[in-house]
Amino acid sequence: MVLHADQIPNDWETFVQQAQEARWSPRDIEYVVNHLHVTDLFLNDPDLATIPLEVCNFLADMIADSWRKRLHGIFPQRYFDVGVTNRDTSPEVYAIQTGI
């Protein structure tokens, strides 16, 4: 798995054990650890409710493109699915490894 180091749960062993008990695949674990809700970037902004969804979708696209390029630069021999989901409510950027 390729995981975003800053997002790995503090109690990694417990997290993995619970994920295995829930029958999560390594890809499922990567998705959970390697995703970002774009609106979370504005949690401390008092104007969060007024930020248009279009702005969040634009930022999500920019973040996904950045992650895609960075992952390719670090791991040129591996393949990743980097994209955006939940565009209608709260855009979420994700990155999961799809092959070597």
pLDDT, mean of residues 52-70: 95
Domain ranges in the chain? 24-99
Residue 96 burial (CB count, 10 A): 21
Question: What's the pTM value of the predicted model, to 2 decimals?
Answer: 0.82
Of 34, 44, 42, 19, nearest in space to 90 by CA = 42
Residue 95 contacts residue 81 (beta carbons within 8 Å): yes
pLDDT for position 25: 87
Partners of 79 in the beta sheet? 99
pLDDT digits (tens, 9 = 90+) for 71-85: 999 999 999 999 999
Judged by DSSP in three states, 61 sits in: helix
